[in-house]
Amino acid sequence: MFPVLQIGPLALPVPGLALLIGVWIGLWLAEIEAARLGIGPETVYNLAFIGIVAGLIGARLAYVARYLNVYASDPLSVFSLNPATLAPAEGVWIGVVAAVIYGARRQLPLRLTLDALVPAVAVMGVAVALAHVASGDAFGAAARLPWSVYLWDEYRHPSQIYELIAALGVLGIGWRARARGPFVGFNFLLVVALSAAARVFLEAFRGDSLVMIGGWRAAQVWGLVVLATGLGAMRYWGREAVS
Amino acid sequence: MIRLPWLLHDSRRWWAFTLAILLLGAGWTWLSRVPASVATVGQIPSPREGFPAPDFTLDTLGGESATLSAYRGKVVIVNLWASWCGPCRAEMPAIQKVYTANRERGLEVLAVNSTFQDSQADAQEFAQNSGLTFPILLDRDGAVSKRYLLRALPSTFFIDRKGVIRSVVFGGPMTEALVQTKIEALLQETP
């Protein structure tokens, strides 16, 4: 666990740094993949870039909207660089909507564009896992195993390492399959389905799960829904491609 | 002509595969349900979100002593700082303003000075010159900094009325709006 890199007076949050590097590598790979698939690399780069920027701005605005009375008396704080004042879930939604609008306006083919974004999505999965390794978030359930790690005053499953291994596996499979997809959109659905399956499996070892009524872990239930959707879409898109 | 993999080629085979995968996933999900008695969050004191704040007792600049758990029922900001740290000095006025405005609503600030890597005289001079009215605690041997896994100055922990850390901000300076937004929801919770 290494949450902060202190360089003189500067405290750099390592998880944020890992995500930033992930975004940078992801955008670079998206450009390369777009060129390989014959769609404008600049357009795909812009799509991802607009999604990220809109997501960040949206996350800040959503946070501000939540505490409008506070920011009304201190409006300049809206421009604070501190990531503690972001609303992440809202940011993701706003980023996705902005990217979809941009893609529709530039008439980008949906399935081909999704395929072009596969390496970027998979790399972001690795970056998120590295961010968790650095911060100690997404920690494991208490367990006494030869490979347990001592974290947060307890021996635990190294869930962050499990997550990293799974993310690297998804990246490897997604990367190898990118030139072999039987139809357009297959690689994207493959990465989505593998990521969802990994989440369903690995969530069982987490010690910080959001728990629903009956003790069901919310992430596993959502993972199953995404997995079912991905597998269903794989069949549907495959049939469409054949016909 | 597009040739689908053997699994996708046959509709019945594909749906059987999908069903098997989903049943396996559902079974695993059922097996890994969480009994309330083994939920980790909320039980072990640890300096991170969702955990009870590790307790401590320290001397204050005023010569008294302060214990974190004695403030149970109040919203507490624990701010780890040093007088030589620029961002720490820069954010203190914002913390003071929020403290003044919200003290009556049940807010308390414990500013833990990293005295083991600072000097008590410098901390006192800064507190006086800045007009800080909340308790300044002296971490002379670094025990609290160690307990709170201090890695950057300033580090700020926002603790709810039940003594649970609800958010952590590493680094600074924090703006007045940031501090206020972090405590607003906590103050509205019933003791």
Amino acid A25: pLDDT: 95
Amino acid B47: pLDDT: 86
For chain A, what is the domain count?
Answer: 1
Which stretches of chain A score pLDDT less than 70?
Answer: 8-11
Amino acid B4: pLDDT: 61
- Tell whether B173 and B103 lie within a shared domain: yes
Give the range of the structural domain holding residue A191, as residue numbers without chain letter: 118-243
For chain B, what is the domain count?
Answer: 2
A127 found inside a domain: yes
Give the range of the structural domain holding residue B144, as residue numbers without chain letter: 57-188
By the 8 A CB rule, do A157 and B32 touch?
A: no
- Tell whether B100 and B155 lie within a shared domain: yes
Interface contact B28, partner A, CB < 8 A = yes
A40 found inside a domain: no
Summarize pLDDT for B7-20 with one digit per residue, the tens: 777 788 888 999 99
Q: List the single residue in A with minimal CA-CA distance to B168.
A: A84
Amino acid A228: pLDDT: 96
- Tell whether B19 and B96 lie within a shared domain: no
- Order of strands across the sheet with B75-81? B65-67, B57-60, B136-138, B107-113, B75-81, B155-159, B165-170
- Contact state of B33 with A223 under an 8 Å Cβ cutoff: no
- Tell whether B84 and B142 lie within a shared domain: yes
Long-range contacts of A212-215 (CB under 8 A, 24+ apart): A214/B33, A215/B33, A215/B34, A215/B35, A215/B36
B150 found inside a domain: yes
Q: Are strands B136-138 and B107-113 parallel, antiparallel or unpaired?
A: parallel
Interface contact A243, partner B, CB < 8 A = no
Interface contact A175, partner B, CB < 8 A = no
CA distance A205 to chain B (A): 8
A104 found inside a domain: no
Q: List the single residue in A with minimal CA-CA distance to B28.
A: A201
Of residues B41 and A184, which shows the higher confidence score? A184
Task: Say yes or no to pLDDT of B37 above 60.
Answer: no
B176 found inside a domain: yes
Amino acid B2: pLDDT: 53
- Tell whether B96 and B10 lie within a shared domain: no
> What value of ipTM does the predicted structure carry?
0.84
- Contact state of B170 with A234 under an 8 Å Cβ cutoff: no
CA distance A155 to chain B (A): 12
- Tell whether B25 and B84 lie within a shared domain: no
Q: How many residues does chain A have?
A: 243
Q: For the domain that residue B73 is a member of, what is the CATH number?
A: 3.40.30.10
B45 found inside a domain: no
Task: Say yes or no to pLDDT of B1 above 50.
Answer: no
Residue bearing tokens 């989903």: B22
DSSP string, B31-83: HT---GGG--TTTS--SSTTSBPPP-EEEETTS-EEEGGGGTTSEEEEEEE-T
B51 found inside a domain: no
CA distance A149 to chain B (A): 15
- Tell whether B68 and B119 lie within a shared domain: yes
Amino acid A178: pLDDT: 83
- Tell whether B96 and B182 lie within a shared domain: yes
**How many angstroms separate the CA atoms of A117 and B127, rounded?**
53
- Tell whether B87 and B164 lie within a shared domain: yes
- Tell whether B88 and B120 lie within a shared domain: yes
